[in-house]
Structure 1
Amino acid sequence: MNLLLQTTHSNLKAQIAVTGSKSETNRLLLLQALFPYITLANTSNSDDSEVMQKALKGSDEVIDIHHAGTAMRFLTAFFAVNEGREVVLTGSARMQERPIKVLVESLEQLGAIISYEKEVGYPPIRIKGQKITASKVNIPANVSSQYISALLLVAPKLENGLELTLEGEITSVPYIKMTLALLNDLNIKTSFEGNAIKVFPKAAVEPKEMTVESDWSSASYFFSLVALSETASITLSSYKETSLQGDSALIEIYKQLGVETHFEGNKMTLTKVPGFRFADVDFELNNTPDIAQTIVVTCLGLGIGCHLTGLHTLKIKETDRLEALRIELTKLGADISVTNESLTLVASNSINPNIKIATYNDHRMAMAFAPLALKVPIIIENAEVVSKSYPDFWEDLKSLDFNITEL
């Protein structure tokens, strides 16, 4: 499905309920599988969370998680400690190119039995669930935080808990802290000092309802829309001023891009600062790489330059996001260069109209480029890919008077 996006005005006003955080939902679904007395509210309706839920509740030997990277990592740890169960975890062609070796080796240090069905280091993998009694493991600190969170989430069910040593400089700390905070909410004892994380064993938890906060990565597209508008007041729910999600850094980042954020109860209102003077920006996104695409597209739309660093994990996402950004932004007329961990956009006041943006099976490519329709008509290819994290995105965009035509 290819969509032509255009709009006749850029004065935006709407109230939008954004689906629950995919990151929080998938962590809580795994914890619910380990501790069945937990109930969940405001869970994500994303493809990734539905895949995760189906895998945890099903009894199939072969489990296909399609494009869901979080599910692949979390389920690898879950089935490794699920004594007596044998499964093969597989996914899409792209998923079979995304590395899993670091996590597999960490689980093997603990006594897990995992083998590769095709290429060493990549899915599909065969997992024979074991009772795990070892409790100490080392893992490189600069890998995807999902590897680390996968180990932490299953740790309370290990006989002796887990002592995890992170080697080197830690990336995506907010996501690790989110995982530990969710464990703490269930009265599971943890500690995180220097490069050492401990999770203590806990056989059972008290019944509890856990409410998932709405997704901050999904909110990023509305920050971008407000920045690119003439005037705007967009209210989003349900959000917390003190969030576990690292992407809540959007508030401070978009202050430099003319967006003001105001909280009332569980609602967050974004407004455009009148007469804001824009200048080139420089952001270190080690802790928030998922919002890089949104930020660079915003800067293109504003006619300003940006230098973004800390992006090394983007090369192993749904696509190589740095290369995908370079190709698509160049089509729009941008002067952009990328390295293995950074991106530089040169300020320019012209954007080529009616360009077809390829999405590379990557939900964030589709949604990050959509706000540019405030500046020029733009075509998003394979627009249905948004269902991976935000199935209602195109409908919510229509509520802001965007004209969306299927081609």
Structure 2
Amino acid sequence: MNFEYSEKVQQLISRVDAFMQKHVFPVEEEYEEFIEAPENLWVVPPILEELKQKAKAAGLWNLFLPHEYGKFSPGLTNLEYAPLAELMGRIEWAAEVFNCNAPDTGNMEVLAKYGSEEQQECWLKPLLEGSIRSAYLMTEPAVASSDATNVECSIVREGNEYVINGRKWWGSGMYDPRTQVLLVMGKSDPTAARHLQQSTIIVPRHTPGVTVIRPLKVFNSVHSPSGHAEVLLENVRVPVANMILGEGRGFEIAQGRLGPGRIHHCMRLIGAAQRCLDLMCKRVNSRVAFGKKLSEQGSIREDVARSRCEIEQARLLTLAAADKMDRFGNKVAKDLISMIKIVAPQMCQTVADRAIQAHGGMGVSQDTPITNLYTYARFIRIADGPDQVHMAQLGRSTISAANS
């Protein structure tokens, strides 16, 4: 793996960093105050749309989509995108400024890789333009959805339509007023082989029968303006043409979708952890307790040293996974993707926790972004497959390789 970025990527790193410094960091507090105001529940902060237009005009747009997607991609590899995503990760919501945010990124990759020309024209194009948003409905409250073959939502063909019935939750983006399309995973043939029972289908957001039941809070936050929802699908009818790739391909699509999504989260979490460390270093160098700076305390220096080591280890592992995805494909890189999905969220959570402790009472208040970054890391230890699933898969693969 070449650790030196090309001149093109180095320029992009400089441009994304400069954009963040000039446009995003200065309005971070304004954004947070807006979304915290009760009257602004489920309202998109105007500053966000302004930032998105500036990023698009600057050519810093859709950077996530790998080069193999041809006309839809800006031409970067996963390895080249990694440092850019890291810069975006320093603010929890900043990826959306560049149209590089979940769940839209995963849905765009699905439509770009598996969608028909009609599906791409109708849904992928406006998603790439950033004029609409989307949601992905796989997880269900009644089953352990870390095993996607457990999903019970039914997708039944009736003539020229599919009829969908089921209950989903953790539908990220369902409360966002810009969300216009849902990708729904369900079971189309319960009698087929285990991994061929599922299908993925496109459901326009306002199709009759789609009911948002309630918002789901993450650490007591509804995450406005997008939110996470429990959703009821009752006799939802969509055209046969809305089926992606064909019946029985849902599990395949889900696996193809989640690989890049997992590593994108990890890339951003490296940036989140780095910001926590930077804030901790500034705090301990300016705070005096018991007659000397906190930075002169041995235990503080140890926390800083450990954090720096752990961030760099996770960064290198993320780059190794991205490099293998580029050279051999997501399937071959699955063990490295599992490794970094296990390592990066826990690492970020640990570094953020140390930064909180170093800030004292300020660390748990709204006066720093650390608590937001901490909860993001903790949430990602469950999202896109919990730690235990990745460890089980990686352990099985490792044992098998050692005995082959």
TM-score in terms of structure 1 length? 0.26
Greater per-residue helix proportion = 2
Greater per-residue strand proportion = 1
TM-score in terms of structure 2 length? 0.26
User: Relative CO higher for 1 or 2, CA cutoff 8 Å, sep ≥ 6?
Assistant: 1
